[in-house]
Amino acid sequence: PSSHGLSCYYNDFAPACPHLFASEHSGEGSTLREEEPDWMWENRNRITGHGPNPSHVDNAADNPLFRYNQFGVLWWRSQLLSFLMTPNLALARKIRQIKNSIGYRHPIIGVHIRHGDACIHGSLSSYRPSCKNVPEYFNQVEKIASKYGVHRIYLATDDESAVQYVRAVYRELDIIHIHMDRKEFHSNWFIEYRMRASMETNDSSFLDLQMVADSTVIDLALLAESDFFVGAFSSHFSRLVLELSVSMKGYVPPYVSLDYAYGMPGVFPPYSRPQ
């Protein structure tokens, strides 16, 4: 995936644009800090047409064409994603295999619990929300389960202790998840730095890029397919789940965000330094 990009997973409708990242600069890989590394901001500025060296590529995701403004940004993003993130045959086959192996059936509640380095971000930050604990997520899950009569849960998390906890405490729920070594996510080093170090040194001891990419794409697909969703919209991943879910279903499914509302100013892209 690191060498072939998203075409490993999704239909490739356009040629790659490596020139957008040709002058990428190295970040401070060994420093824990509140902000994301400068090289990430430089790339974001360049591809969204901001900063000192913009590429003149409009940020289409946040600027619906005029004739579509009436439908809003969520609808617009869902339409873009339905085109850009159509699984290729290999991914579609893998998704079917995993669904069969873990017993993924509808109706089902998708739950995304991001801990790991996201909790470091929250503890260091003056603007990021702190991590929510597992019972806070499952208080909302139980409300949805009671209201809609649904007891099957698809859990996507980087925290193995969260998996063990919900299995021990919420025995009345049928909890399923993909099987992987979540210890790969345990580190006091931000995953952005670990990813970059692994790519630049070709050393998988920093991060198993294949496992992380595969599990991320599968979790994203199965959460988006879920009939209900519980997550936290401070996470790009959780917002992407909702957007993909709308593109798949044609309507906004019942969902809960434990922190930010969708589109909350200062959280929603376009990417700019926090105000």
Q: What is the pLDDT of residues 178-222, one digit of tens each?
A: 988 777 667 666 767 677 777 778 877 777 777 788 888 999 999
Q: Are 173 and 145 in contact (CB under 8 A)?
A: yes
d(CA 110, CA 152): 9
d(CA 123, CA 55): 35
d(CA 217, CA 17): 22
Summarize the confidence of residues 255-262 as an average pLDDT.
90
Token digits of residue 120: 């470091």
- pTM attached to this predicted model: 0.76
CA torsion sign for 271, 44, 127, 187 is: positive
Tell me the pLDDT tens digit for each residue of 40-90: 445 555 544 555 555 544 566 666 776 777 888 888 889 988 888 999 999
d(CA 235, CA 239): 7
